[in-house]
Amino acid sequence: MEELDRVLNKYATSQDLMDQVRYVAESLSLDFEKWGDQYVSGPSLYFLVVAETDFETYTDPLGENVWPTDRCKVVFDSPEAFTRAAKDVAFSRDGAVIVTGDGTIQRQMVRVRSPARNEVPGVGEITYPDWMGTKHMSALETSLRENVLWAITLSEEDGRVTTFLDGTYQDYPRREIGGRWRPDV
């Protein structure tokens, strides 16, 4: 836990970064109007916010799946550009988007490998709720890795947004996104 505190202190803006990424995921969920339509998939996102750029030890590039860094390279540069790029990615690409603790978005999207039980402490004790698909299980496991600050997912099946931190998660089913401030959906 000392290591996590050190990493979080190093990136004091990590909460702001997570909030911005979660806000965009929630906005895409609320803006999509076909959640219940048969044979329709909604937007899907998987973000990993990492402390260092040393994530190659547990990820593999996903070929042509790339974040459009020519339109948005840093989360905080332009909220509008970040939202537009995230929407494009959510409907047309697969894999995890890597964001470093300073908000820089990596171009190459990745597949995240599951850790072995002896590789990451706590992985063997995780219990997965029935609603979790592979993306959510991956995010939960990956959140236990030393240099992963946060993981955030948007489910293409039902619009739920989930944040993951240190082997725990906070789930926001679509009907609860925005709390009392959200418009009726």
Question: Is 144 inside any structural domain?
Answer: yes
Structure pTM?
0.88
pLDDT top residue among 168 and 179: 168
Question: Is 183 inside any structural domain?
Answer: no
Question: Is 33 inside any structural domain?
Answer: yes
Residue 58 has, within 13 A of its CA and on its CB side, a CA count of: 25
Question: Is 152 inside any structural domain?
Answer: yes
- Residue 136 to residue 164: CA distance in whole angstroms: 9
Q: How confident is the model at residue 10 (pLDDT cuts 50, 70, 90)?
A: very low
Domain span holding position 109: 2-174
Share of the chain above pLDDT 90, in %: 66
Give residue 162's identity as a one-letter amino acid code: T
**pLDDT digit string (tens) for 144-173?**
998 999 999 999 999 999 999 999 999 998
**String of DSSP letters for the chain:** -HHHHHHHHHTTTHHHHHHHHHHHHHHHHHH---TT-TT-----EEEEEESSS--TTSEEEEEEEE--TTT-SBTTT-HHHHHHHHHHHHHH--SBEEEETTSBBPSEEEEEPPPPTTTSTTGGG----TT--HHHHHHHHHTTSTTEEEEEEE-TTT--EEEEETTEEEEE-GGGTTGGGSPP-
**pLDDT digit string (tens) for 24-34?**
999 999 999 99
The domain that contains 149 carries what CATH number?
3.40.1700.10
Residue 80 has pLDDT above 80, yes or no: yes
Question: Is 119 inside any structural domain?
Answer: yes
Question: Is 81 inside any structural domain?
Answer: yes
Question: Is 182 inside any structural domain?
Answer: no
If one counts the domains in the chain, the total is 1
* Of residues 35, 22, 30, the one with CA closest to residue 156: 35
Residue 70 has pLDDT above 70, yes or no: yes
Question: Is 179 inside any structural domain?
Answer: no
Residue 121 has pLDDT above 80, yes or no: yes
Q: What is the pLDDT of residue 91?
A: 96
Residue 3 has pLDDT above 80, yes or no: no
Residue 183 has pLDDT above 60, yes or no: no
Q: What are phi and psi of 69, to 5 degrees?
A: -65, -20
